[in-house]
Structure formats: structure tokens, C-alpha cells
Amino acid sequence: MTVKAMTSKEVTQKVFNKEELFILDVRNESDFQDWKIEGENFDYLNIPYFELLDGVEEILEKLPSDREIVVVCAKEGSSVMVAEMLSEEGLTVSYLQGGMKAWSEHLEPVKVGELRDGGKVYQFVRIGKGCLSYMVTSNGEAAIIDATRMTDIYLDFANEIGAKITHVFDTHLHADHISGGRVIAERTGATYWLPPKDATEVTFEYEALEGGNVVTIGNTAIDIHALYSPGHTIGSTSFVVDEKFLLSGDILFIDSIGRPDLAGMAEDWVADLRESLYLRYRELSEDLVVLPAHFMIIDELNDDGSVSEKLGTLFAKNHGLNIEDENEFRKLVTENLPPQPNAYQEIRETNMGKINPDEEKQREMEIGPNRCAVR
């Protein structure tokens, strides 16, 4: 009996639309506890695959007969077999196509705003890892910020909307995912920009992105102002686009702030992080719409699936922006941090061009949640 595959895109739409879904996750308990598909109205049952080899009869009473069920595993194979067994028992069930590997790589483009000249800002939501990347378009040109390694998605999307990619930026040297910036620049002839303080060990050529840089996209001067804002890394740079949007990289999130320890420099960089958030950002307009490079929890998604909030609102509501005592702030960002991202040192070295893992190895390095924020 054949069962239907459910794609990562279909699951993403259920997340965005706050639909109900019952997930039977057949990975090991530790993998499930570490990282799972999250949705506001999703329910879960985690039963490792090896416990179901002799049949699914014992779990039938734990599964709903009146709701959509999707079986999830690491790569797909196990979930197909379990879904087929459940289907034979009369349940309506599908399996996640490509498993959690595919979920980790899915990007969903969402339009988050318009520029004064009619240009647009798109956010690419990497729903399974919480990574957010951006495309800014104006007059047939496009800039990409914090691209993931799934480069075809950006190239195809730019092609679809008739935009030529002319500039590619990374706000900092990423430690939780492999950047696609360099590959996109090579494939399109675009200029690749990196903050020089994060690029001291890179093995390739790049344009130095420094505070005060203004890069124009299109004929109509959509200015991308680079704002030096160290703290998550020493080179971390934010962008103000069209005096309307603040791309905050991994310095400021909707519900948290960036962690300063991923290059082993937590104690050294706390003061930089505080200065960026408490002094440099305070000089900006509170009406700027903050577009971060990550989200942490599903609650941060807006109704359309995008992640954004006005800077003034974050000054009022984000706990990380409201710690008056400097010692308390230091404690928050150096103690009780979540585990560091999987393979983060190898990811940093890949982004420096020092190592060049094959595609399968890159996928393995990125599996798991992002952990770029303090708790």
C-alpha cells in the first residue's frame, strides 16, 4: 500500500497557518528532544523506529483517528515503513519527504516590506533551523544578505522576479550554518562583502564591509548602510536599508540577544555587545523594522510566517535590552548559555575557506537547531 509524502513546504504552510498536525517522530529520543518540527498546534508522539519493527499495534491507541498524522525520521526510509504499517491499520497517514534532513534545508520566501522606490525586501525563512536570510530588490537588481548554502533557491527566486544579483553580504562569520554567499557571488559575478575583522583568516578575496559603507542597489539609490555592531562576533555588522529596515544579524533577535562565545571570546566581547545594543542601536530610529538573522522559537513568527518587529517595541519588551546593571548583563551573556551549535568550529572553518567538506558532510554538520542566542 503506498502512502502519501508530505513535503517540507506543506508542513511549513501548516506552521504558518497554525493548523493542527499530529507528528509521530520515530527517531531516537535524544534526537527528538534536541530538535524537532515545531508548530503552535502540533501534537507529538516519539517512539523510536526499532521499537516498531514487530508492528504498530501497541501504539494505535496513542494515535488520533480523526487528525492528520505525519511520520518523521532522519532521512525518510524508516518513516515510509512505519507509515505503511499504520496505513494498513486504517489510519490516514503520510511521511515527511526527505525526513529531518529535508526539513533542515527548506527555505520559504516571504515578502516583508516595500522600499520607497517600489523595491522589495524578502525574508527567506529556514523554518527547521531558525535561520533568516534576505533579498533586497530595486530596479532589477538584488542584494542578498546572510545566504544559506542552499544557493539555488536564491538564484531561482531572483530569476523568477527578474532581478540580477549584484551584491552579496554576510553580516558576520557564521558559526551555526554554512554560508552560501561566496558561491552565489561566484555564480553571478556579484560583489561579496564581509566584515574585515571577521575575515582575518579567510582564504579568498572579498570586499571589506565597514561601518559607514553605503552600497547602492538599482538605479534609485537604495542605500544599505553598514553599521559596525560587534558583540556576537568582533566584526558583526548591521544594515539600515532605505532608512526603514534594520538587518540586525545575530546581534539582536525578537526575543533575545546574540551570544558572544562562539569564537571563544565571551568575556572579551561582552562590552562590545552591550555597547552595540545599548548605545549604537539607541541612536537609531525606533520606527526601524528589525529583521534578524535568526529566530529561536516558533512564537516569534508573525501571522504571515515572517519574523520582524519595530525597534522601539524591542526596546520595550526584549529582556536583553533592559538590563541596567552591567554585571547582570555580563552574567546573562556568559553564563547558562545553551550548548554551542553542532560542529560550529568546522562550520567557521568552512566559512573561512579553510576546509571544503562535500555536500553530505555539510548537511551533517548543520543538522540540529541553531543556538545563536543567549537563553
- Taken in order 342, 346, 351, 355, is the CA torsion positive or negative? negative
Around 134, how many Cα atoms within 13 Å sit in the side-chain half-sphere? 30
Residue from 64, 23, 69 nearest 47 by CA: 23
With H, G, I as helix, E, B as strand and everything else as coil, classify residue 141: strand
- Maximum Cα–Cα distance across the chain: 65
Per DSSP, what are the bridge partners of residue 8? none
Cell 492528520 sits on residue: 68
- Respond yes or no: is residue 372 known to be catalytic: no
With H, G, I as helix, E, B as strand and everything else as coil, classify residue 372: coil
227 phi/psi in degrees, rounded to 5: -120, 110
Listed in sequence order, the residues at least 6 apart from 232 whose beta carbon sits closer than 8 Å to its beta carbon are: 172, 249, 250, 251, 258, 259, 260, 262, 269, 273, 372
Give the N- to C-terminal CA distance of the chain in Å, as an integer. Answer: 46
Residue from 17, 61, 48, 21 nearest 37 by CA: 21
Annotated catalytic residue: which of 73, 217, 251, 323? 73
Residue from 83, 57, 81 nearest 69 by CA: 83
With H, G, I as helix, E, B as strand and everything else as coil, classify residue 321: helix
Listed in sequence order, the residues at least 6 apart from 137 whose beta carbon sits closer than 8 Å to its beta carbon are: 119, 120, 121, 122, 158, 161, 163, 217, 218
The secondary structure of residue 285, as a DSSP letter, is -
User: What is the 3-state composition of the chain as percent helix, strand, coil, each rounded to the nearest 5?
Assistant: 35, 25, 40
CB-CB contact of 16 with 305 (8 Å): yes
Helix (H) or strand (E) holding 33: helix 29-34
Active-site residues, by number, are: 73
